[in-house]
Amino acid sequence: MTDITRVDVGDATLFVEARRLDPDTDLEGPGGLEGLEGLGGRLPDLSAVTEALASFAGQIGDALHRAAPDRATVEFGCQLGLDAGKLTALVVQGSAHASLRVTLEWEKRSG
C-alpha cells in the first residue's frame, strides 16, 4: 500500500509517496490523518535513506575501483518505503517506477 507522508528535510517539510512495507501497520497520526504522519506523531526524515544510498554508492565505488575502468556510470531507481515509522530506500529496477533516480559517476584520475 502506498501512502503520502510528511517528511522532515532540514528546515522544510516535504510530502513524499512511500510504500508501506508492513500493510498491518497503523499510520494514523495526530488529528486522525492516516498516512500523513509517521508512527506516534513523529515525522520521518530522510537520514536513513541518504545513509543507505551513501553506503550502497560506496560499495559500488569500491567494486569499480577494483575493476579499474577509466570511467563508469551507474544509474538505479529508488522508491521510498515506510517501515516502523521510518523511511527506507528500496532499490528498484529501472527508473520508470522510482521515486528517485540516482546517477553515480566515477572517472579515473590520471597520474
- φ/ψ region of 6 (left if φ > 0, alpha if ψ in -120 to 50, else beta) reads beta
Residue ranges of domains in the chain: 2-107
Amino acid at 80: L
| Grid coordinates given for 12 | 522544510
| Grid coordinates given for 84 | 516502523
pTM over 0.95: no
**For the residues 27-55, what does the mean pLDDT come to?**
62
* Neighbour tally for 66: CB within 10 Å: 7
Asked whether the beta carbons of 34 and 46 are under 8 A apart, the reply is no
| Integer Cα distance of 86 and 39 in angstroms | 8
84-98 pLDDT, tens digit each: 777 888 887 655 566
| Grid coordinates given for 1 | 500500500
